Each structure stands twice: as structure tokens, then as C-alpha cells.
């Protein structure tokens, strides 16, 4: 029967082509949106696993309130159960030109804390920061690619300070001493500089954006997180678990947007299959009547019609995946940041989605074809 299905699809080339194209477009959207969502998921997963052992301490009123200083760092450090605490400074690399996903980020870290922050992230070249480094920087893989940086190159960092109605922009070159490997985390778009130089450059005194507290072994991070909030004034803490929850919520919203796009694509693709199959079935009314008169079983007719729709779904799916993968490959290689990741899971979802789409939208036309009485079908003109 399979060869009959192929013949029918091939016989109506333009119509089958358009239908397949419709599905391909839908699956293309699923792949592109899906790979973006997968990339976000992966980045957050990796980022969380890099920082999962530390408690984040933020100023109570959010970033706007400011107010975290070295003295707060010392206060956090004194809380029982905290083995180490250090401040981080985060700022945008180019405040005038924020890219997608927040763009590249300057992270000021005390040089001796680099290792504990980045864990076993390796360098593809150069060295990590050491105590006493001046305007030096270790850059993430995405940053290195965007600015085509090699060890020894200079990277321009901008700071923007709003004073009354106008803003003043400072720039300064930092020399790249190390380039990090690709981690799939937010460190890929990070520029790591010594904390003291960052504070000076951004004119923040001894202010920091965030304090990371490392719990002592055998200390429950959840309890410690609450203890820090109680002992240190005007701070809000995020335990690894809280952070995970918060990020997951953001990811759910992102996934919802992606899923809606995919569902929309599915509906459009599905309607086009249904439409084509209805036309094809009504065009072949006589043919089906004849087949029944020749002794075809209802299941033979169902198999042929559903099979035709399913096959168009499969072909559309393959084309859509190929097209989506091509675009993703192109984007990842030609743009500074990696935005897409095609996972086996995503491929499986896209493919079964395409097939299901064909089957579901082919079912009603197939049912119509199969239930037709041979007499009526043969009389049909």
C-alpha cells in the first residue's frame, strides 16, 4: 500500500509540496524557538551548577538600592556557618548598547576568589587573574569571539554615570590575560576583572553588587541563608534552592512563549494538511468508491489516507528540522553569542510532533473517505 501513498503524493506535486512546506515551516519554528529555549535552559542549568554551592546576598531594595560595601562583606563573613564571603561587582560591558539577553557583563572579582567562583572552568589560553593584577581581564568564550580577542589584546570597557540630566561615559582599556573555555553558562559572556580596579573604574568606592557566601561543610545552605538575613541588616539572600526556583519560574514563562509559537505553527500546519486531504479525498471520492467495490476494507482506505497525511507530516518534519538546523548553525557561527542549542530531545519532539500533526489532521478526511458508501461514491461526479 505504501507505494500507492507515494504515488498519490507525487501525483499532486504542487499541492503536496505546498502542504509539506506548511508543515516544514511549522516545524522550522518549533526547532528555532525550541533550540533557543533549550539554550536558555542549558545556560541556566550550567550557571546554577557553577554557583549552586554559594548563597547570594543582595541589597534589600534590589540593585537600585545599592548599599552593599566591603563592611557588609565582613558582616556576612562573621555569620556562623559561613566559611568565606566575598563581594562581586557586575556591570554591563557596553551600557549604551545592551544586546539580547543582557549582553556582555563585566564581573569584578577579588583575584584570589576567581578559582572558587569559576570552579574547574579551564582556560583556552593565558592565565587567571592573580592578586596584584592591574587593569587585566579574563574573558568568556563568547566575548573573545565577538571581539576577536587573543591573549595580550586590549578590550575597551565603558562606564556610564548619570549626573543630573546628562550622562558621562568613561572608557578604559583592559588587557586580556586569559580566555575561558565554552561553559554554556553566563560566564561565557563575562569579562572578569580585579574587583578593586572595577570599583575604581566605576567610581563605586568599596561598593559591590552582590556578596557570595560559601557555607561551611555540613551546613545546610537553606538555614544559613535565613541566618544571614537575620544577622546582617538590609540584605536579602537567595539560597541555591531559591535561586533555582526563581530562575525556573522565569524559564516557565519563556517556555510558554515558545510553546505558544509552536502550537500556533502546529495549528496552521495542521489546517493545511486537513485542507489538502479534504480536497484530495473529495477529488478521489469515485476512486475510493471503486476501491470499495473492488473489495477494499475500511481499514485499507483509512491506511491509505492517514498514511498519506502522515507521510506528508514526516517529510515536512524532516525538511523543517533540516531548515531549522541550518539556520541555527548559521546564527551560532555568525553571531557573537550562542543562542541556540539543538538537543536530541528537541529533535525527537519536533519529529513526533510533525508525524502526529499529519496523522491527526488526516484522520477526519480519512474517516470521510472510508465511510462513503461505494454506490454513492461511484455515482459521484
Partner 1 sequence: MNEREPVLSVRNLSKTYMQGKIPVHALTDVSFDVKKGEFISIVGPSGSGKSTLLSMMGLLDKPTSGSVFIDGMEVTKAKEGDAPKIRREKIGFVFQRFNLIPTLTALENVDIAMRFARVSKHKRKERSVELLTQMGLEGRMKHKPSELSGGEQQRVAIARAMSNHPAIILADEPTGEVDTKTRDMIVALLKELCEKGQTILVVTHDMDVAEKTSRRITMRDGKIASDTQQ
Binding residues (CB under 8 A) for partner 1: these are 1, 4, 7-8, 11, 286-287, 290-298, 300, 373-375, 378
Contact predicate 177/194, CB 8 Å = no
Nearest Cα neighbor of 377 from 307, 305, 306, 293 is: 293
Contact predicate 365/278, CB 8 Å = yes
The minimum distance between CB 260 and partner 1, in angstroms, equals 40
Contact predicate 338/332, CB 8 Å = yes
Burial of 305 (0-12, 13-18, 19+ CB in 10 A): buried
| Beta bridge partners of residue 173, listed in sequence order | 156
Place of cell 563568547: 142
Give the residue with the Cβ less far from partner 1, 113 or 292: 292
Give the residue with the Cβ less far from partner 1, 233 or 381: 381
Rounded CA separation 363/333 (Å): 41
Rounded CA separation 376/371 (Å): 11
Give the residue with the Cβ less far from partner 1, 6 or 263: 6
The minimum distance between CB 279 and partner 1, in angstroms, equals 15
Give the residue with the Cβ less far from partner 1, 4 or 48: 4
The minimum distance between CB 281 and partner 1, in angstroms, equals 14
The minimum distance between CB 313 and partner 1, in angstroms, equals 21
The minimum distance between CB 295 and partner 1, in angstroms, equals 2
Q: Under DSSP, is residue 177 helix (H, G, I), strand (E, B) or coil?
A: strand
The minimum distance between CB 282 and partner 1, in angstroms, equals 15
Rounded CA separation 153/348 (Å): 43
Give the residue with the Cβ less far from partner 1, 196 or 287: 287
Contact predicate 124/139, CB 8 Å = no
Give the residue with the Cβ less far from partner 1, 42 or 290: 290
The minimum distance between CB 43 and partner 1, in angstroms, equals 51
Give the residue with the Cβ less far from partner 1, 132 or 295: 295
The minimum distance between CB 372 and partner 1, in angstroms, equals 12
The minimum distance between CB 6 and partner 1, in angstroms, equals 11
Give the residue with the Cβ less far from partner 1, 56 or 292: 292
Q: Under DSSP, is residue 39 helix (H, G, I), strand (E, B) or coil?
A: helix
Give the residue with the Cβ less far from partner 1, 236 or 286: 286
- Biggest CA–CA distance in the chain, Å, is 94
| Beta bridge partners of residue 304, listed in sequence order | none
The minimum distance between CB 381 and partner 1, in angstroms, equals 10
Give the residue with the Cβ less far from partner 1, 95 or 374: 374
Buried b (16+ CB within 10 A) or exposed e, 134-166: ebbbbbbbbbbbbbebebebebebbbeeeeeee
Nearest Cα neighbor of 367 from 310, 312, 311, 303 is: 303
Burial of 131 (0-12, 13-18, 19+ CB in 10 A): exposed
Amino acid at each position: 500500500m505504501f507505494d500507492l501513498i507515494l504515488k498519490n503524493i507525487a501525483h499532486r506535486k504542487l499541492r503536496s509540496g505546498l502542504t509539506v512546506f506548511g508543515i516544514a515551516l511549522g516545524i522550522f519554528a518549533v526547532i528555532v524557538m525550541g533550540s533557543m529555549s533549550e539554550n536558555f535552559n542549558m545556560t541556566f542549568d550550567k550557571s546554577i551548577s557553577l554557583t549552586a554551592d554559594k548563597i547570594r546576598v543582595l541589597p534589600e531594595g534590589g540593585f537600585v538600592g545599592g548599599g552593599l560595601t566591603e563592611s557588609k562583606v565582613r558582616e556576612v563573613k562573621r555569620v556562623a556557618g559561613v566559611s568565606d564571603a566575598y563581594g562581586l561587582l557586575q556591570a554591563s560591558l557596553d551600557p549604551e548598547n545592551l544586546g539580547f539577553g543582557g549582553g556582555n557583563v563585566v564581573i569584578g572579582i577579588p583575584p584570589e576568589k576567581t578559582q572558587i567562583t569559576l570552579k574547574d572552568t579551564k582556560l583556552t589560553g593565558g592565565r587567571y587573574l592573580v592578586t596584584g593584577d592591574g587593569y587585566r581581564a579574563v574573558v568568556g568564550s563568547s566575548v573573545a569571539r565577538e571581539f576577536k580577542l587573543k591573549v595580550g589584546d586590549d578590550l575597551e570597557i565603558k562606564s556610564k554615570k548619570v549626573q543630573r540630566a546628562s550622562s558621562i561615559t568613561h572608557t578604559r582599556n583592559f588587557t586580556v590575560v586569559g580566555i575561558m573555555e565554552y561553559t554554556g553558562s553566563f560566564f561565557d559572556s563575562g569579562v572578569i576583572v580585579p574587583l578593586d580596579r572595577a570599583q575604581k573604574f566605576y567610581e563605586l568606592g568599596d561598593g559591590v553588587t552582590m556578596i557570595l557566601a560559601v557555607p561551611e561543610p555540613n551546613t545546610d545552605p537553606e538555614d544559613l541563608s535565613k541566618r544571614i538575613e537575620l544577622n546582617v541588616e538590609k540584605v536579602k539572600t537567595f539560597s541555591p534552592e531559591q535561586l533555582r526556583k526563581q530562575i525556573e519560574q522565569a524559564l516557565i514563562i519563556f517556555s510558554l512563549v515558545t510553546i505558544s509559537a509552536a502550537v500556533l505553527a502546529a495549528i496552521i500546519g495542521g489546517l493545511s494538511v486537513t485542507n489538502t486531504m479534504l480536497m484530495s479525498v473529495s477529488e478521489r471520492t469515485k476512486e475510493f468508491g471503486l476501491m470499495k467495490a473492488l473489495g477494499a476494507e475500511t481499514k485499507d482506505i483509512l491506511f491509505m489516507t492517514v498514511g498519506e497525511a502522515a507521510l506528508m507530516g514526516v517529510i515536512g518534519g524532516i525538511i523543517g528540522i533540516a531548515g531549522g538546523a541550518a539556520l541555527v548553525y548559521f546564527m551560532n557561527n555568525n553571531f557573537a553569542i550562542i543562542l541556540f542549542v539543538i538537543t536530541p530531545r528537541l529533535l525527537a519532539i519536533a519529529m513526533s510532533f510533525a508525524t502526529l500533526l499529519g496523522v491527526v489532521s488526516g484522520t477526519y478526511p480519512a474517516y470521510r473517505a472510508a465511510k462513503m458508501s461505494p454506490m454513492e461514491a461511484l455515482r459521484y461526479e
